[in-house]
Structure 1
């Protein structure tokens, strides 16, 4: 058995695969098949079944068909394959014996090269299993979604040391079957972590990818540790203070640590592995408490203590430095207003065409096109995370709050705000970390969504698919990805910089541009709540440090410090205009432009002293209102 296979499934190092004994000039019939009932090998398994087990139900059904017929051969062949399958499973469980494949190879092979067919139970080379599935005569077709990962689903038929729940099996079915997945399925601790993550968030389908990624991340870490220390077999062997140095070396090897520069190639993985190792250490502690194993519990507790003491020095500090330095001097790009307007107009025209096409000739193609256009419109209008809108469910939309607004609140609104409330509906959906976030539907989006829901059955959308923007093909239970739709239409609308039109950058665009508006604290809170995060996150992460604003605003204070800050006492940042030697500082700027600003500032000071500040505030509010009415996204700030 090769080193890769032995590293993936270490307990199977005494297992061999039956090879063909044929020579160049002679065919040798030495293959024996195992009986399903006797569990013994026989060279003539069909004759043995007829003579010794004709009273068994499966054999009787096969013998009821005419000798030589297709069903007669198929049913007897399945019984033969099941006998070999049970024998192979017992060999894999014990770690010692001979595997009987469907076809004997003429070259040396390993047990990890073979997987059983889930229909006929025969053991085939896993790279050829997809080809066999196409022509397997015992295949049972169902009405559910088409599963394309044949190896992943068939690998679940192999025995494991851990009992796997049905929910976790669905997650493992979508996992690409390779040496990393083999480690996941053979390690009890990794599967236990997957089970706990599934119990916490497994009912939300989008979290299942996170569970798969976390399990594969630990499996890659375990493979890296095995290369350093040959005594490491399972992840549990690393939860030991004596192996902590091996853990650190494995993390650095996996994440590409450069000792010369103290930098990581993949710093995010190095940071995430700490949390994963702490979680599996808690699992080991729980097992030790159940088994009353004080030695194992002590090892797990000391391992966690070492992580608290040493991890920051050896891993976290350098990983965070790498992450922060990658962001230094990187361009802070935001979408252009012209590009957003082009995309808005492009989507509006496509929505009308696709609605007409779906009404006149309902088809999966027209339904899918309208679904993608509507999804992109909602992401663009609401500046919402694309995944939140993509996963909106039909029942959530239908059972939205339809009660009318209170009279007292309605009277306090302006005529423009009342008009907005009449034309917009509000639907609350699940956001990041389970937060309740609203989505506003303009009139055209409402019409499109109503049409999509109405024609679901007509175009063949799976009734089990809960999403409004469902994938229409192959009976899928998944939703359309909003990022793909947004990218597609951004490129097709002749935008100048389509790569900047993403859901994240659209959200940052709102947070950054809102600095230009004179929003009160409670108005900022409302905007941050609508965006789905608190005001601290809004200011620290979503509001970009705009270079222009920093240069134009903060530099006022720096020059004022040189000129003498005392004479600007009591003035706001906008009122500070220090005297600058324009010939030295601004060679390409007309001094009259800056001096005119000083004059304007002086006049504003005089106006504010004479008590006209209320009139100025009223004028500025009216100007902002005009901008909101003329802008396609103005309603967002209302």
Structure 2
């Protein structure tokens, strides 16, 4: 409300227009795969025991676990930072009968997901509860980070009950944890600068377009990301160039080729233009036929224009007469102006000369060539 009141409409429109064709550099999918694999591998390789804990080991565990959860859940950094030990201990590790009744026939893959992931709910933006999925490999790290002995040996204050604490009273920033990981030499990302929390959330919202999700499934995604459908569409979801070039282009072609009736009651993903090649060939044949006609006409015209008439000595003398100031060096230009050429043709006609039969462009070129020869 305050933004629309204090900033003029023209200024807001200008800001919006600047974003239209701005290059949207979303994370490279291969980079996400690399950093996810690196985090899982490093977490599994951590040797964590409370009695052998120290500040260096504890900080590395915080960085890896925080970056892993941020990348996996696409959470806002501030939300994840607020994860407390109490919230983690109260996490949901099983599914009640009411929820199981919603999915009576689970696939093996879905059963595996239920067994290998825990769920903890934390406070999100505007006070709403948002979920955090905890992959199986991360549990051992979180158990270590919540252990009182390990925290004491790592110089963590007893009153600091955050899951990802620093040695003071606050937390290790989730965005900084992700930054520390993505710039490590072992990860070897192509575009590490694109890997940050807000961009990861935009990436999730954008690729959801390609999955053909229904309204209910889209609502699930919005609830997980912690924003409304409107915010999802206006802020986070980027226009996918692939979707524009494929699905939207199909809709445009259906109209142009007047085949709407043939594809009634079909999804865009189901439409394949079998006759598209034939239609394109027809258009190309028509274009080629028109081009051949134009070329033939141009060739006929060029043949007529190609009948050149040599300049006679009398015409050259007449040129020197009417362009004497050029030949005497009063003008430094090597080419006469259009006005001078037209005046010379007019005088030639009035005085019964012969160069008035020439076009002024031809006269201009002749004078220029004569001037060049003289200077050489």
Q: Does 1:511 align with 2:202?
A: no
Query: What TM-score, normalized by structure 1, do the two folds share?
Result: 0.40
The answer as to whether partners of 2:31 and 2:189 remain within 8 angstroms in 1 is yes
- Cα 1:315–1:522 change in 2 (3 A) is closer
Q: Which residue of 2 aligns with 1:548?
A: 242
Q: Distance in 2 between matches of 1:539 and 1:367?
A: 40
Q: Which residue of 1 aligns with 2:183?
A: 491
SS in 2 for 1:356: coil
Q: Distance in 1 between matches of 2:109 and 2:206?
A: 25
Q: What's the offset of the Cα at 1:415?
A: 2.8
Q: Does 1:379 align with 2:70?
A: yes
Q: Distance in 2 between matches of 1:541 and 1:460?
A: 41
SS in 1 for 2:47: helix
5+ residue gaps in structure 2? Answer: 285-376
Q: Which residue of 2 aligns with 1:581?
A: 280
Match 2:117 to one of 405, 410, 424: 424
**Aligned counterparts, 1:118-517, within 5 A:** 274=2, 312=5, 315-353=7-45, 355-356=46-47, 361-401=52-92, 404-406=95-97, 408-409=101-102, 411-454=104-147, 455-472=150-167, 476-492=168-184, 493-517=187-211
The answer as to whether partners of 2:121 and 2:130 remain within 8 angstroms in 1 is yes
Query: What TM-score, normalized by structure 2, do the two folds share?
Result: 0.66
The answer as to whether partners of 1:557 and 1:576 remain within 8 angstroms in 2 is no
The answer as to whether partners of 1:383 and 1:507 remain within 8 angstroms in 2 is yes
Q: What's the offset of the Cα at 1:448?
A: 0.3
- Cα 1:401–1:348 change in 2 (3 A) is closer
Q: What's the offset of the Cα at 1:437?
A: 0.5
SS in 2 for 1:507: helix
Q: Does 1:558 align with 2:252?
A: yes
SS in 1 for 2:96: coil
- Cα 1:325–1:420 change in 2 (3 A) is same
Q: Distance in 2 between matches of 1:465 and 1:330?
A: 43
- Cα 1:451–1:521 change in 2 (3 A) is same
Q: Distance in 2 between matches of 1:482 and 1:438?
A: 16
Q: Distance in 2 between matches of 1:582 and 1:546?
A: 29
CA RMSD between the two structures: 2.5
SS in 2 for 1:438: strand
Instruction: Tell me which of the two structures has the higher relative contact order, counting C-alpha pairs closer than 8 angstroms and 6 or more residues apart.
Output: 2
The answer as to whether partners of 1:358 and 1:367 remain within 8 angstroms in 2 is no
